[in-house]
Amino acid sequence: MIPVRGYEGRRVAVLGLGRSGLATAHALRAGGAEPLVWDDSPEARDKAVAAGFAPHDLTREQAFDGVASLIVSPGIPHLYPSPNPIIARAMAAGVPVDNDIGLFFRSWGARGWESMDQTPRVVAVTGSNGKSTTTALIHHILSVSGRPSQMAGNIGRGVLDIEPAQDGEVVVLELSSYQTELARALTPDIAVFTNLSPDHLDRHGGMGGYFAAKRRLFSEGGPDRAVIGVDEVEGRFLANQMAEAPEDDRLIRISSGQKLEGAGWSVFARKGFLAEWRKGRQVASVDLRGIRGLPGAHNHQNACAAYAAARALGLAPRVIEEAFHSFEGLPHRTQIVGERNGVTFVNDSKATNVDSAAKALQAFPRIRWIAGGLGKDGGIAALAGYLAPVVKAYLIGHSAREFALQIGTTPHEVCETMERAVESAMAEAEPGEVVLLAPAAASFDQYPNFEKRGEHFTALVQSRL
């Protein structure tokens, strides 16, 4: 646990008592503060009571009297589409609003660091797609290389629930836009921006607000080194903002598909090969084609981001390459879950939007595609240019028939249920093909979350192998 500093003897309100909220309450108490906890859910409040906290009703008048700060869980809106009433009341009372990420950055440094041989460091990863895989891959590279490392944030443990730093340790954080938007302190040593595509636009008031939330990771404190994907205009703009000159190697540009040269530092992947360039010449190369845990161009971009972060931490190219080969990928993200008679079964249940589904569809040459669920605005019409590898689509869930109308002449079957889709795809798949779950839709029509959807697909496949 990281005890929160700066609130000794003061009352601090905590709104939202999920994983990060309860960890925050414990960390505040460990640092000498008095946490005042609240959640609209009676079940969550009961868990807080079981953990030793007395709920403090933040909906009451005068609830913020004598409160030094309000710490908010990431799922609770504070601005768009409208502020949560409790947050609005805190702001009206002049009570500063923060989150656990802000508390982490103000509390991470500790006495005794001056006696360490290597000061602990923080790598923070944000972006629309690939940030979980990139975060896990950086953590894996560090672990394989023998460097102490912890992984937290939007993946793994809550940031305040991790252990105090060891000598030379690196903490790797995945940070969502919900987390970066509100944190009052953001001071990573290395900040990574993978890419940007439309998502959570209602929460951020549009694309500009969404990008602004991501950009805060680079502007609030300023990292020592920035790793920035430049395959979208927003990334190119951010890279331009961070660099003082073309040769400024505090910035590492990354790309999947573009050749990046120039006087600066860049890492890019083309035709299955990763290349590192510095000062106008290539200094290293990695063949990504045979790396089982990183299939497809989107994973090659993740590899570039992780490689760049690891190089910024001083690791050698061959050490990083070796770690790539032992990386097995993350559950529900182009995860190979089985093989039979030359057919590979891939779970990419995390592909909940069109952009991430498009990346999955580009990763394999011949695909039996399971898609559908609770469709988002526009459905899957934007995938028209990515359907060439699809031998047949098997459509499930609430939007199955809507999706069927949007895929043109692509052969398809309206299956409605995962059971029927898996059964049909397995019966018809031929050697060399991939049965791919990449829904391009939310899961909430049939499953509580994308993880349960992916677990169901995996269980159905493995029970038939």
Whether 452 has a binding-site annotation, put simply, is no
Residue 117 sits in the same domain as residue 64: no
Measured CA distances, 268 to 73, 157, 189, 199 (Å): 36, 30, 22, 25
Residue 122 sits in the same domain as residue 89: no
pLDDT at 197: 87
Residue 76 sits in the same domain as residue 158: no
Residue 251 sits in the same domain as residue 352: no
What is the average pLDDT across 247-271?
A: 95
Q: Provide the CATH number for the domain around residue 374.
A: 3.90.190.20
pLDDT at 148: 96
State which of 98, 117, 146 marks the end of a domain.
98
**With bands split at pLDDT 50, 70 and 90, how would you rate the model's confidence at 15?**
very high
Whether 424 has a binding-site annotation, put simply, is no
Residue 280 sits in the same domain as residue 133: yes
**Is the pLDDT reported for residue 141 higher than 90?**
yes
5 within some domain: no
Residue 141 sits in the same domain as residue 229: yes
**With bands split at pLDDT 50, 70 and 90, how would you rate the model's confidence at 57?**
very high
pLDDT digits (tens, 9 = 90+) for 306-345: 999 999 999 999 999 999 999 988 899 999 999 999 999 9
Residue 94 sits in the same domain as residue 199: no
Residue 199 sits in the same domain as residue 311: yes
State which of 63, 98, 133 marks the end of a domain.
98
Residue 263 sits in the same domain as residue 119: yes
Residue 90 sits in the same domain as residue 158: no
Whether 280 has a binding-site annotation, put simply, is no
Percent of the chain exceeding pLDDT 90 equals: 91
58 within some domain: yes
Measured CA distances, 307 to 254, 258, 315 (Å): 10, 16, 9
E strand or H helix at 14, and its extent? strand 11-15
Q: Provide the CATH number for the domain around residue 25.
A: 3.40.50.720
Please count the structural domains in the chain.
3
Nearest to 394 by CA among 407, 375, 379, 377: 407
Whether 334 has a binding-site annotation, put simply, is no
**Is the pLDDT reported for residue 129 higher than 90?**
no
- Domain containing 384 equals 335-464
**With bands split at pLDDT 50, 70 and 90, how would you rate the model's confidence at 292?**
confident
Query: Chain-wide mean pLDDT for the chain?
Result: 95
pLDDT at 210: 96
State which of 68, 98, 128 marks the end of a domain.
98
pLDDT at 110: 84
- Regarding pTM above 0.85, the answer is yes
pLDDT at 19: 86
Whether 131 has a binding-site annotation, put simply, is yes
Whether 128 has a binding-site annotation, put simply, is yes
**With bands split at pLDDT 50, 70 and 90, how would you rate the model's confidence at 38?**
very high
**Is the pLDDT reported for residue 355 higher than 90?**
no
253 within some domain: yes
306 within some domain: yes
Residue 265 sits in the same domain as residue 296: yes
Distance CA 194, CA 348 (A): 18
Residue 83 sits in the same domain as residue 181: no
364 within some domain: yes
410 within some domain: yes
4 within some domain: no
Task: Name the E strands within 211-352.
Answer: 225-229, 251-256, 265-270, 273-278, 281-287, 335-340, 343-347
1 within some domain: no
Whether 52 has a binding-site annotation, put simply, is no
